[in-house]
Structure 1
Amino acid sequence: MESLFSRLFKYRSSDKRVQQENFLTEIFAFLLKNPALVAAFLNECGVAIQGQPENIKIDTQQSFSTYPERIQPDIFVRFFVDNQKWLVFIENKVGAREGENQLDRYLGYLSKEVNKDTNCALLYLTRYYDPKLVDPPLGVIFKPIRWGQVYSILAKFEDNVFVSQARLFMEENNLSLSRDFSTNEITAMMHWNTVRTMMDNSLEEAQERLKQITGIKRLYQEDVGDYLYIAGKSLAIEIGYYLEDIAKEATDEDFPYVGSAIVVYPEHRNREQITSAFMEFEKKGRNWKLRGDPKDKNDEIWVEKLLLLKEFMKSKDHISSIQQWFLKEILPDIEEFLKDNPYSLN
């Protein structure tokens, strides 16, 4: 049976992609309004609150001032335990990557709250293992957690119909993350080195050309979820393999996408101008598609050009076919965009 949340997700606007990440944030924030669930969640994540939370206030995407900038954690939770104040930030990353110094800025704000006699914690919630080298200020708790842990914690509250539907939705979207190896997973593990080598071979020339175009000597590699090479930070150029469910159609579930994206994050000082440039770039008719919500100032916006891997499997030499597609169809477009829009990639 399809979950309530999957049915709701089908009603997303057809003219923009509703991010799974934001949808999950709203679901989880709703569930956290249960005091017993909040207590169980925090304690099992390593934030020992030693009591039942009271006067709980939960909201999503609320802005906090860190003059001269502002921060906007996905979820914030305020409550009291035995007259002690608590403030917890939860940052949810399912598909997107961390913004520039995002966690450090959150920790900086929370350190000031600690000085006001508030107990503070920052929870970094991800689909996959994503270690972070952060040095939390004195008195601030930092804990990386995964959606698989949340799935297990919610099992204790499955009598609640909303919790049971949330867990079903997590199963449907590969967020429950089984703790048992299947035959398919063992087979994939045995072939992973070969697959990774083939992906790297297909991207080798494209990487070098991207370095020349951007002037960046070393690309960042993203191999959590997707398999990408990235130039830039708050304005980023991605090339590689999209292994997650980015823009997938139901009939194409078993094939990853190959391609590129030019992404602008909310913290870029020229975000509005770059977003306008994306709109014009899409109109050129070269199969670059605008994604995200340009009206949402807190949303990352990007243009992407993707092909299913199976399209390259029609050629005699899959690797060469992918190499040539990047060199002839992707990178010249990226070079043109950056020349027409010479904004900082940092």
Structure 2
Amino acid sequence: MSLFTNLLNLHSGTKPREDFFTEIVAYFLSLNNDILLAWLKHHSIISDDNYSSVKISTQQEHQALAIHTEDSRLDIVVELSTGLNTDVIFIESKIGAKDGNNALKKYAEILSNLPNVRYRILIYITRDYDPKEETKKYCLDLSPKVNFFQLRWYQFYSLLKECASDILAQEILIFMRKNGMSHTNQFSSVDLLTMVNYNKTLLLMESTLSEEVQQEFKLAFGGVIKGAASRTQWKWDERYIIYTHFSPSTWDLWCGVGYFGLNPSNLTDYPYLGIFLQVSHKFAQRPKIIESMQKVINDKPNIWTPSNLKVLPAWSGIFYRRSLKDFLSQENHVSAIKLFFQESIKELKTVQEQYFDFPWKGVSIEAATEPDQEEYPDILLSSIGGV
């Protein structure tokens, strides 16, 4: 379970992931000034840590300079004071987006114009590779100059993993892993194993979801979107499934059968296999669907698992599942998993007929498109963690 992911998913509409994470990190660093200073020293941003005062603020607004067209709002501002001198650091954080409208140059100009400052430092920290050599040169040409440093979030992740062990730090690490901020620039032994075995693994998974299982799914629910399991779902939602929609607005009500939790935070965790029925927090029929789901859980608590049934706003659902580990003792893994998938489909069909008076109608293959992650990037991430 990821506390911060679940909290972020409670936000209706577009999720402010970057601002959300900025607030978390800034709060953590305000409680752990020693880690902040160690991080800055590690990257040679500061040369010593003899500061008597450390002040951290977020979303700090600065009035536009005469050469600017609008005011600026800074992600994180760090003020380090020795009592005699003050050093100021602006930190601009990006997780998915890139620097737009030359914001970094504007922040550098604001820094350069600050009075009574000894060292002016601008840090651009990103998840993805986004080189800014021109910005670095521009900062050095200002008078007073601004020292520009470009960092990656995986570097912060590595440091935090080494020097912090409290609950807040662990939750930050989990959130960073779930959002791709822990990836280094080196291949690990696990990465190499994944690379050379990817096709073999994919073929095994495909074989468990093809033919008999697809036919069973089509007979029960009317169709399979795209006609096959989606690798896009694997990339964005940590699942490899065949699925269909039961509502005109695609993801309002849907079900999928296959593999879930394929990118666990802990490498010793096993993926789950099974079938999942999920309803959107925006669906008009949601209260009726949730009521029926709760009845299923009340009557069959040992075989169905709830996900966010009592949380709003949130994606909610019920899960019929088993761990992949349960199948590893079988002589024929593929056959055993196929049988379980067929069992899962039959169980959901039984539940549909017994508990739901909402008219389910699977979307036809021909009429379906796959919006996948572009529209709903966090459909299931919190669900897997919360069940």
Are positions 1:325 and 2:340 aligned together?
yes
SS at match of 1:179: coil
Judge conservation of contact 2:157–2:182 (CA < 8 Å) in 1. Answer: no
Query: Aligned in 2, Cα 1:19/1:299: closer, same or farther, shift over 3 Å?
Result: farther
- CA distance in 2: counterparts of 1:317 and 1:299, whole angstroms: 38
Report matched runs for 1:211-222 at 5 Å.
Answer: 211-219=218-226, 221=230, 222=233
Distance 1:18 1:178, change over 3 A: closer
Q: In 2, are the aligned partners of 1:39 and 1:52 still within 8 Å (CA)?
A: no
Rg comparison, structure with higher value? 2
1:41 corresponds in structure 2 to 93
2:121 equivalent in structure 1? none
TM-score by length of 1: 0.55
Aligned AA for 2:324? L
Q: CA deviation at 1:344?
A: 5.7
Map 1:326-341 to 2 at 5 A: 326-327=341-342, 329-339=343-353, 340=356, 341=358
Q: C-alpha displacement at 1:168, in angstroms?
A: 4.5
| Letter in structure 2 aligned against 1:223 | W
- Alpha-carbon distance in structure 1 between the residues aligned to 2:194 and 2:292: 40
Distance 1:46 1:287, change over 3 A: same
Aligned to 2:5: 21
Contact 2:127/2:181 (<8 A) preserved:
no
Q: 1:236 to 1:27 in 2, by over 3 A?
A: same
Structure 1 unpaired stretches of 5+: 1-16, 54-124, 128-147
Distance 1:272 1:290, change over 3 A: same
| Alignment pair present for 1:196 and 2:202 | yes
CA separation of 1:238 and 1:165: change in aligned 2, threshold 3 A? closer
Q: Give the match for residue 230 of structure 1.
A: 243
The aligned residue for residue 289 of structure 1 is 305
- 2:106 match: secondary structure: coil
Identity percentage of aligned residues: 16
CA distance 1:294–1:41, change in 2 (3 Å): same
Q: Counterpart of 1:309?
A: 324
State the Cα distance separating 1:336 from its structure 2 match. 2.4
Shift of 1:181: 0.7
- Structure 2: 5+ residue stretches without partners: 9-16, 27-57, 60-73, 77-89, 109-125, 129-150, 246-250, 364-387
Instruction: State the Cα distance separating 1:40 from its structure 2 match.
Output: 1.7
Distance 1:226 1:42 in 2: 26
Structure 1 pair 239/175, CA: closer, same or farther in 2 (3 Å)? farther
1:157 and 1:315 map into 2 onto residues whose CA distance is 41
**In the superposition, relative to structure 1, how do residues 169 and 197 fare at CA in structure 2: closer, same or farther (>3 Å)?**
closer
Contact 1:291 / 1:304 at 8 angstroms: preserved in 2? yes
Q: CA deviation at 1:23?
A: 4.3
Give the Cα–Cα distance (whole angstroms) in 1 for the partners of residues 127 and 288 of structure 2.
30
State the TM-score, normalized to the length of structure 2: 0.50
Q: Deviations over 1:115-143 (max 9, x none)?
A: xxxxxxxxxx999xxxxxxxxxxxxxxxx
Alpha-carbon deviations, 1:138-181, whole Å to 9, x = none? xxxxxxxxxx96545889999xx999877645567674112211
Specify the code of the residue in structure 1 equivalent to 2:185: R
CA distance in 2, matches of 1:126, 1:36: 15
170-179 vs 309-318, which deviates more? 170-179
Q: Give the 3-state SS of the residue equivalent to 1:240 in structure 2.
A: strand
C-alpha distance in structure 2 between counterparts of 1:309 and 1:200, whole Å: 15
Q: For 1:212, give the aligned amino acid.
A: L
Q: Which residue of 2 aligns with 1:242?
A: 260
Structure number with the bigger relative contact order (C-alpha 8 A, sep ≥ 6) is 2
CA distance in 2, matches of 1:164, 1:281: 37
Distance 1:172 1:217 in 2: 31
Residue 255 (structure 1) aligns with: 270
Aligned to 1:51: 106
Q: Mark the CA change 1:39 to 1:51 in structure 2 (over 3 Å): closer, same or farther.
A: farther
- Name the counterpart of 1:269: 284
The answer for the alignment partner of 1:6 in structure 2 is none
Greater fraction of residues in strand: 1
Give CA-to-partner distance per residue, 1:184-229, whole Å, 9 cap, x none: 2112211111111111111112222212222224346222122222
